[in-house]
């Protein structure tokens, strides 16, 4: 033994405590427990395991302590019990689309409970309700709802996203301004709690849990299925897209100012739309009404935005519901059993109630100076989320734990590469953009959307921005249902 090695060994033996086993060291114990209770697992190193660990966001990967793939609710209960007995954090995974790979724990060492086998859709057409398994992917869910009596729910645009993560934290899409968020349409949920019991959360059963699940669900248990209120799928919809080409910061400011004013004050609930700013810029959406009414509603806005009649427009009328969804899905709605689509990116969000002229000016100037000519596949997506006539804003701020009822816009800042790795230093591009907007808005606490999880936020920043004034009440509910913090992650409630 060399002198240095000997010295280190001697010092090590004098340390007061042996180093604690890390969660990854507990793999064998958790696997033994799962095996004893006959919970199906993916074995580390198998092809299925390697596939399962590929997150939607290639940039953010984690190593679990163990990987369960339950088939029954009892399997889920047993998996939760194995995590609890071995003091290993437990994380549910549905569609695996979290930007921060929160479905893989958001850090190493979790027991992942992959809910892939819970994906059925059963409609009660007379009651206009549907029971939907948590891991159903949106495209498959929309198709199944439609095939069982032409029913629909309000949900996001990407057909690969899982119902679980989307519904437990928000769920904004092409009909949210008239039908609310996905979480606004949950009637009840079946949940496995940290003590392994199964409960129903609804307005009458465990109402505090029901409140917390609708906005911050990942920290409160594992939902196996949801019962949703459905509606008749609208079948004659107008889909539109205008191409824009802002040539200066001041022109972009004019567009955003007009859009903000319209969204806040006069946008009707049957109009859903977004501004997409990137190497090319579009303004697109869906109108649930006639062409004549659409023209009447849109023309004043287009004029104020400077689009006038000169902007290139693509307008299609009489789209069925599934057609409408497909117009925004970047591919077919139906999703394969093994999902294998991935991107490599960093993203941030802002949920502003109001962007002051100075904030809009800062946003536009940053675009002109730093974004417009950047040679990466970045985009800024601005959804017209709230305002006086939006169903999202008509729900009281404390009715669910979703904290952004007053947000006029839902803004997503996204920076990706198509080949190779994302250099960590590139995060300064989006951090700088948000930083300039916030610096121009002294005293404003902007909300952020956990469904666009920003891995650059500390836990304190995340808690404040994701849940705003609902955070303290969430911690109280957490202490009731999961005092030992079995369901946790770097940014979740109580972390
Ligand atoms: C391409 C793309 C497009 C998107 N489009 C939209 C959009 O249009 N509108 C919108 O609102 N959002 C959109 N999102 C964001 C999306 O809503 C979130 O990423 C969402 O959390 C993904 O849910 P998931 O089940 O697929 O992910 P997962 O990674 O499986 O889960 C996300 C989080 O939810 C938790 N969770 C999942 N299932 C359960 C469960 N059963 N019980 C308890 N906790 C659970 C996980 O632990 C994790 O914390 C999009 C995301 C992507 C990648």
Closest CA to ligand 1's atom 18: 451
Look up tokens 């949703």; give the residue.
228
**8-state DSSP, 369:** I
Of the candidates 435, 436, 469, 471, the one whose C-alpha atom is nearest the C-alpha of residue 454 is 435
Give the list of residues 6+ apart from residue 477 with CB closer than 8 angstroms, or none.
208, 209, 211, 212, 220
Atom of ligand 1 nearest to the CA of 115: 41
C-alpha 187: how far from its chain's center? 20
- Joined tokens for residue 225: 């299925």
Give the span between the Cα atoms of 203 and 223, in whole angstroms. Answer: 16
Look up tokens 């959804």; give the residue.
383
Give the span between the Cα atoms of 102 and 155, in whole angstroms. Answer: 20
Atom of ligand 1 nearest to the CA of 101: 29
CA of 18 to the centre of ligand 1 (A): 39
CA of 43 to the centre of ligand 1 (A): 25
pLDDT at 248: 96
The residues with which 481 forms a beta bridge, in sequence order, are none
3-state secondary structure at position 42: coil
Q: What stretch of H or E contains 302?
A: helix 291-305
How many helices (H) does the chain have, and how many strands (E)?
Answer: 15, 17
Of the candidates 231, 77, 116, 97, the one whose C-alpha atom is nearest the C-alpha of residue 156 is 97
Longest dimension (CA), the chain: 87
CA of 96 to the centre of ligand 1 (A): 7
Verify whether ligand 1 is closer than 6 Å to residue 134 (CB atom).
yes
Verify whether ligand 1 is closer than 6 Å to residue 172 (CB atom).
yes
CA of 169 to the centre of ligand 1 (A): 8
- Joined tokens for residue 411: 């803004």
Q: Domain 21-114, what architecture?
A: 2-Layer Sandwich (3.30)
Verify whether ligand 1 is closer than 6 Å to residue 156 (CB atom).
yes
- Return the axis-axis angle of helices 73-85 and 27-36, rounded to nearest 10°: 140
DSSP string, 174-222: TTHHHH--GGGGEEEEEEE-TTS-EEEESSSSSHHHHHHHHHHGGGT-E
- Joined tokens for residue 305: 């935005």
When computed from its CA atoms, the radius of gyration of the chain, rounded to whole angstroms, is: 24
Domain parsing of the chain, residue ranges: 21-114, 121-232
Q: Domain 121-232, what architecture?
A: 2-Layer Sandwich (3.30)
What is the sign of the dihedral through the CA atoms of 297, 301, 306 and 312?
Answer: negative
Low pLDDT (below 70) residues in the chain: 1-21, 308-311
CA of 165 to the centre of ligand 1 (A): 3
Verify whether ligand 1 is closer than 6 Å to residue 379 (CB atom).
no
pLDDT at 308: 65
């Amino acid at each position: 033994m060399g002198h240095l090695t000997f010295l280190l060994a001697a010092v090590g033996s004098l340390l007061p405590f042996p180093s604690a086993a890390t969660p990854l060291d507990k793999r064998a114990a958790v696997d033994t427990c799962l095996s004893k209770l006959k919970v199906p697992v993916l074995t580390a190193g198998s092809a299925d395991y390697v596939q399962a660990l590929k997150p939607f966001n290639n940039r953010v990967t984690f190593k679990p302590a163990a990987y369960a793939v339950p088939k029954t609710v009892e399997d889920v209960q047993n998996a939760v019990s194995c995590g609890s007995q071995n003091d290993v954090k437990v994380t549910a995974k549905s569609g695996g689309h979290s930007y921060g790979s929160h479905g893989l724990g958001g850090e190493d060492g979790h027991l992942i409970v992959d809910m892939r086998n819970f994906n059925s859709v059963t409609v009660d057409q007379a009651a206009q309700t549907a029971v939907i398994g948590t891991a159903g992917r949106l495209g498959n869910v929309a198709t199944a709802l439609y095939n069982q009596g032409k029913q629909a729910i309000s949900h996001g645009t990407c057909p690969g996203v899982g119902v679980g993560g989307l519904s437990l934290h928000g769920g904004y899409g092409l009909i949210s301004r008239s039908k609310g968020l996905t979480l606004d349409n949950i009637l009840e949920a079946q949940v496995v709690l940290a003590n392994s019991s199964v409960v129903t959360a609804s307005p009458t059963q465990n109402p505090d849990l029901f409140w917390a699940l609708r906005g911050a669900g990942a920290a409160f248990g594992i939902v196996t299925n949801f019962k949703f209120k459905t509606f008749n799928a609208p079948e004659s919809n107008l889909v539109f897209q205008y191409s824009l080409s802002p040539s200066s910061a001041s022109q972009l400011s004019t567009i955003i100012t007009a859009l903000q004013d319209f969204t806040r004050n006069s946008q009707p609930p049957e109009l859903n739309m977004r501004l997409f700013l990137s190497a090319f810029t579009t303004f697109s959406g869906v109108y649930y009404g006639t062409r004549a009414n659409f023209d009447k509603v849109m023309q004043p806005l287009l004029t104020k935005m400077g689009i006038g009649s000169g902007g290139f427009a693509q307008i299609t009328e009489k789209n069925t519901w599934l057609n409408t969804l497909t117009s925004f899905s970047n591919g077919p709605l139906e999703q394969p059993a093994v999902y294998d689509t991935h991107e490599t990116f960093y993203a941030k969000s802002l949920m502003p109630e109001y962007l002051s002229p100075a904030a809009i000016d800062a946003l536009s100037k940053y675009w002109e100076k730093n974004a417009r000519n950047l040679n990466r596949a970045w985009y800024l997506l601005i959804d017209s989320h709230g305002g006086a006539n939006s169903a999202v804003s008509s729900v009281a701020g404390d009715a669910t734990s979703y904290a952004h009822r007053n947000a006029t816009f839902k803004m997503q800042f996204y920076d990706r590469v198509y080949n190779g790795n994302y250099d960590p230093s590139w995060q300064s591009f989006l951090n700088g953009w948000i930083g300039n907007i916030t610096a121009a808005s002294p005293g404003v606490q902007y909300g952020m959307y956990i469904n666009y999880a920003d891995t650059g936020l500390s836990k304190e920043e995340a808690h404040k921005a994701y849940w705003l004034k609902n955070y303290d009440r969430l911690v109280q509910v957490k202490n009731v249902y999961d005092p030992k913090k079995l369901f946790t992650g770097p940014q979740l409630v109580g972390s």
